[in-house]
């Protein structure tokens, strides 16, 4: 039986590492020294942080590789949240994505049961570190742009957005190495439920 193809998208190598190791993904030079990783029906692409990086990376990928409407697009990463939503390290499946500046919104339309906690997500242009703003759900910098770029190819029921709370958006002195280490740690901790969901998608 042929497995469904998955395109896993992460913003950082630190977010990708647990899946590269678990699935034994092989590295292939992509474009502008950006690698992609693959094995069988799974491809993983690191987009970089923010809308501009997502646009450049995905557009280059679409120019070189054919994305089919039956593929699953799985965005996995860490996100800012609040203590009202959950604990640091908690995993959520995103049911809605909006932009802080308005515009089209993504609404999940999954056709199977998953048993995961759900919440909404706001995609912002700049890191939120002052802890003063209130958002409906979690906050990231890439998810909505991923959907915007690929929504003309992929139907909504084949987009999956998985986010783990990495911080409470109150770290004004952000150390990128420390942040990346935590991102890898939290996603490694949640590897089993994410892997179980990816198995469902592949079947």
> Percent of the chain scored above 70 by pLDDT?
95
DSSP for residue 157: G
76 neighbors 187 (Cβ within 8 angstroms) = yes
Q: What is the pLDDT of residues 106-125, one digit of tens each?
A: 999 887 778 899 999 999 98
Report residue 132's pLDDT band, with 50, 70 and 90 as the boundaries: low
- What backbone torsions phi and psi does residue 28 show, to the nearest 5 degrees? -140, 130
Q: Is the pLDDT of residue 45 over 70?
A: yes
Q: What is the pLDDT of residues 77-109, one digit of tens each?
A: 999 998 899 999 999 999 999 998 888 899 998
Strand partners, 60: none
- Measured in residues, the chain has a length of 203
What is the DSSP-derived secondary structure letter of residue 123?
Answer: E
Residue 31 confidence (pLDDT): 66
Question: What confidence tens digit (pLDDT) does each residue in 12-25 have?
Answer: 999 999 999 999 99
**Reported pTM:** 0.94
For residue 134, pLDDT over 70 is answered with yes
Kindly indicate the confidence band of residue 173, based on its pLDDT and cuts at 50, 70 and 90.
low
Exposed e or buried b per residue across 47-67, where buried means at least 16 C-beta atoms within 10 angstroms of its C-beta:
bbebbebbbebbeebeeeeeb
């Amino acid at each position: 039986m042929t497995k469904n193809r998955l395109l896993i998208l992460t913003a950082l190598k630190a977010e990708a590492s647990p899946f590269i190791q678990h699935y034994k993904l092989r590295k292939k030079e992509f474009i502008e020294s950006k690698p992609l990783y693959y094995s069988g029906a799974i491809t993983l692409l690191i987009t970089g942080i923010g809308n501009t990086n997502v646009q450049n990376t995905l557009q280059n990928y679409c120019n070189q590789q054919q994305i089919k409407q039956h593929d699953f697009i799985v965005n996995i990463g860490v996100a800012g949240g609040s203590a009202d939503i959950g604990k640091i390290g908690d995993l959520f499946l995103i049911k809605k994505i909006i932009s802080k500046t308005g515009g089209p919104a993504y609404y999940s339309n999954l056709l199977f049961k998953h048993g995961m906690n759900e919440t909404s997500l706001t995609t912002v242009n700049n890191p939120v570190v002052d802890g003063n703003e209130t958002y409906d759900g979690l906050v990231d910098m890439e998810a909505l742009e991923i959907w915007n770029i690929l929504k003309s190819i992929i139907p909504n029921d084949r987009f999956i957005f998985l986010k783990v709370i990495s911080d409470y958006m109150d770290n004004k002195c952000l150390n990128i190495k420390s942040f990346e280490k935590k991102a890898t740690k939290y996603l490694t901790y949640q590897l089993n439920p994410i892997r179980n969901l990816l198995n469902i998608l592949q079947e």
